[in-house]
Structure 1
Amino acid sequence: MVKAVADTEGENQGGFAYDTTKVTGFSHTHDSGTGGVCFHSIVGGVSNRVQATSMGNFPVFVHPDCPDLSLCNWTSSDRAIAWRRDSPKARPGYFSISLENGVDAEMTVTNHSALYRFSFPGSTGTSPVVLVDIIDLPQSRNSGTASVHPDTGRLTGSGNFNPSFGLGTYNAYFCADFKGSEIRDTGTWTNRSVNIGATTVSVVAADAHPASHFSAGTFARFNTPEHDGSLFVRVGFSFVSVEQACSNAEREQPDFDFNGTVAAAERAWRDKLDVIEVDAEGVSANLQTVFWSGVYRTMISPQDYTGENPLWDSDEPYYDSFYCIWDSFRGVHQLLTLVDPLSQSRMIRSLVDIYRHEGYLPDCRMSLCKGWTQGGSNADVLISEAYLKDVADVDWGTAYEAVVKDAEVEPPNWNIEGRGGLQSWKTLGYIPFNDIDPGTEGLRTRSISRTVEYAYNDFCIAQMADRMGHTSDRDKYLQRSHNWRNLYKADQGSAIDGVDTGFVGYLQPRNADGTWGYQDPIFCSPLLNFTSCYLNADGHETYEGSCWLYTFFVPQDMAALIQTLGGPDQFVSRLEYLHESGILYLGDEQAFLTVFQFHYAGRPGLSAARAHSYIPSQFNTTVGGIPGNDDSGAMGSFAVLSMIGLFPVHGQDVYLITAPFFKQVSIRNSVTGKIATIRNVDFDPSYGSIHIQSATRDGKPWRKNWIGHDFFADGGVLELELGPKESGWGTRIEDLPPSLSEYGQDPVVKQVVA
């Protein structure tokens, strides 16, 4: 739950960003890789600015030498200090940075507490001051109180804040203790005024004292630090109470043992990462870093807040920072199912328990608040997939009840849960442009992207219904899963800069009376008004992507889509054009599956080639080596799954096979101990040979270009023989991934030099 890091000025969603210059403090809780500024119409069609920066509550800041308190800088903007460009060091369980004021800051964490070690090699450090600010990174504070104990120096406090991408408020609490020096004095401060000896300060009435213009907090000043010159600050954090914040710190770090805490954090991370083993012979250090950092980032969120949920009493796990499932349902949870199935089980149980107490599954949730829904009810996809893959210890009866409610019962405010437009969905078979949807609140936008996501949500429910024996539900939801066809306009063309692309037929908006609207198929792509399709009142009919992109989103029935778009050859040509033309942006998760959809047309070699084009061009070890932002590990999961060579089709028991980026990859199931190994024969680390010529599973020929989750559940060896050109492997109709409709004629494999 606690993730301590330096907070910087500027684009600081995760607290620290390398393309900044100044540090404003050190805070204890963060959501990483959550995106930037967007707009959201909350009520009355009025757009409200939302900053996706989150948390960063109660930062501490250290002045190395402050004999005259009146000369110290207290507010966030005043105290901001440059950091030394060569100083940041980060590894699992540890972060350090050096500031130009002479402070060296190191930090480590346990589940609910942070431990900071401040030293002063560039300063005399004779009168160091540690202050706490009642604020958060997005400056959303509504009210707050802080206290200081004049004898022990213990700083405690609470505050009420807004979530970064949702509705409501939340309370947070902290408790800071010190070691390494005797207390000289304590007090409170507001803006630039200091009150030595005062023990309590409060901020109320956010309108009168906005966090952006009014700062307040407490401080403790110390004598020269003892021994090695280090001053330790231990901060406990809680969403329940100050008492629990103090208890968390005292229980988890009773001895202020910095090195011991770092070692414990490293052990915890090694336990998580050790389930993966790669033979990296010949593979560059850069690609290895892309791989392992991707695994690490995938494990940062959702966050385990079990025992820290004040909203209801439950014996079930509680996870927060599902930020957002629209981002994570296409990669993060698939990778967690492989490498950390126990955590994935607990997350699914948490989603089901949220349904029990809140009435709906979340599409997004952070800081104990309901987050904004971006598309469909995509927790349905996660739950269905978890059921198909036999994720353990879930109350599947209640889980099924939850996904069916998403499909059948429209909530009063579908901005924050469930689905809007269900009356139109059930009667028209699509979400119409400017859907009236009377009696409910929600953005009447994204009619195209919501239609295709609802269709896929219903398909996933149908899979679950089929396996559970609910045949009437299965038939109903399978029928609805075909609704994507109702927005396909067969004669719609597309041009770029006035030049026809040569492809016809795209999803288009449709009115309730059945007549067609129009949205340029490349609109909301990097080629045309890229930032025009977000959660705002005029956010258009696709979300964070174009009609070009969303026309490919039919993972439940790729055979029908391929025939609709003109057959395998025309489909492959169109899909290649999507990737080559500049229409596609890989920094949004809808792009992930398009990298591998060549499999469905019998061209798995093109999927492999496309994956190798994005890794390392888009995924590398430069500062900008992630396309867009990480979306709470989504980009990291894409890189890892691509490099493993078994890319999952979200919501299904299907992994599309390509050659791993390593000679061999093994994944051990941490629950059963079974090991699944993917091995490349004739591996070429220069990646001249990336096309599968033949495959065996446990020594027997394997022709399908996909494999099921039983490979990971039962263990085994998938051995792939590689070559420089496409082959006939995985190209027959019987080799292709599952689809609701039957595939047409055999695709013709073209021999292409890699």
Structure 2
Amino acid sequence: MQNILDSVDPLIGTGATDLPPAQGLAATWWWPKAQVGNTHPGASYPLGMVSACAYSGAYPTGYGVYRISTEGQPTQLYDRNQASGFTHFQQSGTGAIRKYYNYFRVTPMIEPLDALGTLWNLHDEVAEPGYYAATLDTSVRCEVTVGAKTAVHRYTFPESRSARVVVDFSYGGLAIEHGRTVPLRAHMQSLGRGQAEGTLVMEGVPLSVFIEADTPDWRQLLWYDRRLVDGGTRLDFDYIRRTTLRPFGLILMGPAAAGQTVELKMGFSLRGTEQARANLDDELGLGRTRFDKCRSRTRKKWSSHFDQVKVDGGTEARRTVFATSLYHSLIKPCFADDESPFWPTPGPFVFDICTMWDIYKTQIPLITALAPRRGAALLESLIRVCEEEGNFPIGYRMAKGADRFFRQGSALAHTALADGYLLGLDGIDWDWALVHMQDDLRRVYGEDFLEKDVVHPVTHTLDLAYGYHCTSLIARGLGDRRLADELERRAKHWANAFEPETGLLAKSTYYEGGRWNYSFRLLHDMAGRIELAGGDDRFVELLDAFFGYGQPPVRQLGTPPFADEYRAGAALHRFEGLNNEPDMEAPWAYHYAGRPDRTAQIVQAALAYQFAPTRGGLPGNDDSGALSSWYVWASLGLFPVAGQNLFLVNAPAFATASLEIGGNEFLIETIGHRETPISYETGTAPAPQFVQSATFNGKPLDGGFITGNELHGGGRLQIELGPEPSAWATKERPPSVSDRTDG
């Protein structure tokens, strides 16, 4: 098995969804949400604070060519990829949240300063983990790379009497309606000798930069409103409004011989310019050119993560999609150790949790598996945010105050905390965590839940009941049985969200979905859930209707405006593929009804028809890596049941795979794996493969699941595959709380 880092293609997901025409079961699914991956191909450091990318101002993330899109195919704003410079701090795959950073735009120019903001076409793009390059119409070759808290630019100029590198301190957001982000306050200073520093207060956060340029004999000046500030070395703005903002920044200018390179190093911090300078010195050193060193170091960091996940088998195209999915899964959240601007003590600070609703099911379990210390640091940061702001965040950006997105969900951090506790992650004061978890359950929708045992939107009833269950696990583990029993009593109120006569959730308002999308979540009492629906057969009937078994193909949305096709699609109450977060876990609900063969059919159809090794190769927003991490787990034949320390098992997409988790190897081997090209190579999907039998460490695995501790502890999972469904995992089901006999 080989390291698959060289198979990564960061351009996947940057374009509007463009997949092979679906056939069979996959053709019956209907996806209403935005059909664009919203990823960017810029330089990123694994779970780092900084990214850098070409900037057009359009959607997605500032790199792309589209207008903001929430439904169907996005409409184009531009007809080709282009850039006005290179910005820092990008989202990765998020939807239309209108908060896209893109701060400190750096632009290489051979035109006068008045031309700043010109969009030049991008030619000869190269995108690799930690590196991005392109050539502008002006023949300037542009390269960017990043460290954890730093960025390095390298520009190779044609011959010019007056070449320039311009840093725009005032820019942020997207260049579309309601997309701009304006600094509230700003300070910048030219220090001479190729050095400058500054601080912007963006959305209540002080973001500082220290700049060092390798531009011998070039002039160094500040500029304001596209005019040079001769002799000035400092600009201060105490109050900035949208109506009064004029662009300002730093310019380095001088003659360039053909092929001359200029390097610009930037250190960033949320704790002032001195810390920004120290970050630059720590990572790259001051006073020396460091582009190649930074690129090499970041490449090695990416490689160390990819050394932990290896696969054998699969076509080149499938390996490309898998490797890129792993890459996208490790870009966010952003870990900025010792950088919190909101509390003075050292320790982890994590932002771009955009949002828990997206990442808690699949991405956090993947991060915790591949980087347990980072997983623990994320939990510690969540606890600290709750301590400082009064709530566990549903979403948390580099901004003042948590973006809680309470319409999306409630008590989602509790699932990650429960998994962390059951896995025994180090460095967390679990007694203190329990205090915050219990208090958080009483906030916002939790108040009504306490009084009425049900709350609307009714999906929050499921969230809160699950949060109570997760909290009870920690309380019981800490020896507080009385508290655990009380919490578990309230956790049973999940049933109040359902209609026994239909077996579905009650009529209510729903966020980005409907009652069918949310009705097949993996609850802590799936045995009780199936009984409420009328038993195994009735539950499977509902699932079959949701997944479109026996139904004709449907027509997807095109570009807006939509008319009858949206209403017709919504009336199907159909699985939205991997285009919608609530649906990500639904295929695995069959496991609890003894039909893992159905899970295999749906998951393999999704892997074949909803992903491709192209710019349009994602079915929807990647959502900070949530979608990509689903692909990683599904390809391995695993699915994490977040909050339950549980992994469901099914047919892998590769003949062999291995995970290195905390120094332990978890090996997945198959017998009878059939290697066939998939839809984007042949136009047809392979017939599904089904598990015939399985063993874990040589012992029969009859229930189709393992614990998180077994995964993290390492071992050998051997799976025999065949072309037809079998009796495997039809009798022994994954655990439910109602299976317990100890109360």
TM range (shorter): 0.7 to 0.9
Note if contact 1:330-1:649 (Cα within 8 Å) is conserved in structure 2.
Answer: yes
TM-aligned CA distance change 1:596 to 1:738, over 3 Å: same
Letter of the 2:733 counterpart: L
Q: State how 1:230-629 maps to structure 2 within 5 Å.
A: 230-254=261-285, 255-280=288-313, 283-369=314-400, 370-372=402-404, 373=406, 374-408=408-442, 410=443, 420-432=444-456, 447-491=457-501, 504-509=502-507, 519=508, 541-580=509-548, 581=572, 583-585=574-576, 586-629=578-621
Counterpart secondary structure, 2:738? coil
Q: Is contact 2:475–2:484 with CA below 8 Å preserved after alignment?
A: yes
Asked whether the 8 Å contact 2:270–2:341 carries over to 1, the reply is yes
SS of 2:377's partner is helix
CA distance in 1, matches of 2:594, 2:648: 12
Task: Pick closer, same or farther for the CA change 1:574–1:203 going to 2, 3 Å.
Answer: same
More deviation, 607-616/249-258: 249-258
Alpha-carbon distance between aligned partners in 1 of 2:391 and 2:200, rounded to the nearest angstrom: 28
Equivalent position amino acid for 1:142 in 2: P
Tell me the TM-score normalised to structure 1 length: 0.80
Deviation at 1:61, TM superposition (A): 0.9
Partner SS for 1:479 = helix
CA distance in 2, matches of 1:640, 1:567: 32
User: Mean Cα displacement is larger for which, 306-315 or 143-152?
Assistant: 143-152
Secondary structure, aligned partner of 1:482: helix
TM-score by structure 2 length?
A: 0.82
Matched, 1:665 2:665: no
Structure 1's 396 and 17: CA in aligned 2 closer, same or farther, altered over 3 A?
farther
Question: For residue 566 of structure 2, what is the aligned residue in structure 1?
Answer: none
Residue 12 of structure 2 corresponds to none
Q: Which residue of 2 aligns with 1:637?
A: 629
CA distance in 1, matches of 2:352, 2:221: 35
Tell me which of 146, 160, 181 is aligned to 1:109.
Answer: 146
Aligned residues of 2:522 and 2:586 also touching (Cα < 8 A): no
Instruction: Write the letter of the residue equivalent to 1:376.
Output: S
The alpha-carbon distance between structure 1 residues 423 and 340, as it changes in their structure 2 partners (threshold 3 A), is: closer
Secondary structure class of the residue paired with 2:353? coil
1:35 to 88, 92, 95: 95
Taking the aligned partners of 1:636 and 1:668, their CA distance within structure 2 comes to 19
Cα distance change, pair 613–389 in 1 and its aligned pair in 2 (3 A): same
**Residue of structure 1 equivalent to 2:172:** 136
Q: Any idea what the Cα deviations from partners look like across 1:314-345, whole Å, max 9, x if unmatched?
A: 24322222221121111111111221112111
**Residue 154 of structure 1 contacts residue 176 of structure 1 at CA under 8 Å; is this kept in 2?**
yes
Letter in 2 for 1:271: S
Report the Cα offset of residue 720 of structure 1: 0.8
- Cα deviation 1:453-472 (Å, max 9, x = unaligned): 11111111122222222222
Letter in 2 for 1:606: R
Secondary structure of 2:115's partner?
A: coil
Report deviation, 1:368: 4.6
| Matched residue SS, 2:103 | coil
Task: Quote the Cα distance in structure 2 between the aligned partners of 1:609 and 1:452.
Answer: 27
Q: Which residue of 1 aligns with 2:666?
A: 676
1:91 aligns with 2:124: no
Distance 1:421 1:713 in 2: 35
CA distance in 1, matches of 2:62, 2:378: 22
Supply the distance in 1 between the matched residues of 2:189 and 2:655 (Cα, whole angstroms): 58
CA distance in 2, matches of 1:423, 1:582: 31
Residue 655 of structure 1: which of 639, 647, 650 is its match?
647
Q: Amino acid of the residue matched to residue 171 of structure 2?
A: I
Distance, in Å, in 2 between the alignment partners of 1:271 and 1:195 is 46
Show structure 2 runs of 5+ residues with no match. Answer: 1-48, 67-75, 174-178, 549-571, 677-685
Letter in 2 for 1:692: V
Amino acid at match of 1:268: K
Deviates more, 1:300-309 or 1:9-18: 9-18
- Partner SS state of residue 623, structure 2: coil
Shift in Å, 1:352: 2.1
CA distance in 2, matches of 1:207, 1:273: 45
8 Å contact from structure 1 (residues 627, 635) kept in 2:
no
1:12 lines up with 2:60 in the alignment: yes
Q: 2:218 aligns with which of 183, 188, 199?
A: 183
The Cα shift of 1:225 comes to 5.1
Match of 1:440 in 2: none
Which amino acid is 2:143 matched to? E
Q: What SS does structure 2 have at the residue aligned with 1:639?
A: helix
Identity %: 26
Distance in structure 2 (CA, Å) of the matches to 1:315 and 1:156: 23
Q: 1:554 to 1:262 in 2, by over 3 A?
A: closer
Shift of 1:220: 1.7
Q: How many residues align?
A: 636
Deviations 1:550-604 (A, max 9, x none): 2223511111221222321221222122122562322222111102111111011
Distance across 1 between alignment mates of 2:270 and 2:329? 24
Amino acid at match of 1:276: V
Query: Which amino acid is the alignment partner of residue 167 of structure 2?
Result: V
Residues 1:155 and 2:200 are matched in the alignment:
no
Give the conservation status (yes or no) of the 8 Å contact 1:115–1:234.
yes
**DSSP-derived class of the 2:310 partner:** strand
Contact residue 653 and residue 708 of structure 1 kept, 8 A = yes
How many angstroms does 1:482 deviate by? Answer: 2.3
Does the 8 A contact of 1:181 with 1:224 survive in 2? no
**1:366 match: secondary structure:** coil
Assess if the C-alpha contact under 8 Å between 1:150 and 1:186 holds in 2: no
Superposed counterparts of 1:198-209, under 5 Å: 198-203=232-237, 205-207=239-241, 209=243
- TM superposition shift of 1:700: 2.1
CA distance, structure 2, for counterparts of residue 14 and residue 429 of structure 1: 44
RMSD of equivalent CA atoms: 2.2
Determine helix, strand or coil for the equivalent of 1:223.
Answer: strand
Which amino acid in the other structure matches residue 82 of structure 1? N
> What secondary structure sits across from 1:344 in the alignment?
helix
Which piece of structure 1 moves more, 609-618 or 248-257? 248-257
For residues 714 and 421 of structure 1, the distance between their equivalents in structure 2, rounded to whole angstroms, comes to 38
Q: Which moved more, 1:675-684 or 1:572-581?
A: 572-581
Matched, 1:73 2:115: yes
In the alignment, what sits opposite 1:534?
Answer: none
Q: 1:467 to 1:361 in 2, by over 3 A?
A: same
Return the alpha-carbon distance in structure 2 between the equivalents of residues 303 and 656 of structure 1: 28
3-state SS, counterpart of residue 252 of structure 1: helix
Query: How far apart are the structure 1 equivalents of 2:198 and 2:180?
Result: 16
Q: Is the 8 A contact 1:291 1:643 kept in 2?
A: yes
* TM superposition shift of 1:688: 3.8
**Deviation string for 1:394-415 (max 9, x for gaps)?**
211111111111123x3xxxxx
Distance 1:584 1:197, change over 3 A: farther
Deviates more, 1:462-471 or 1:229-238: 462-471
SS class of match (1:711): helix
User: For the Cα contact (< 8 Å) 1:178–1:232, is it kept in 2?
Assistant: yes
Unaligned ranges ≥5, structure 1: 38-50, 163-168, 411-419, 433-446, 492-503, 510-518, 520-540, 744-754
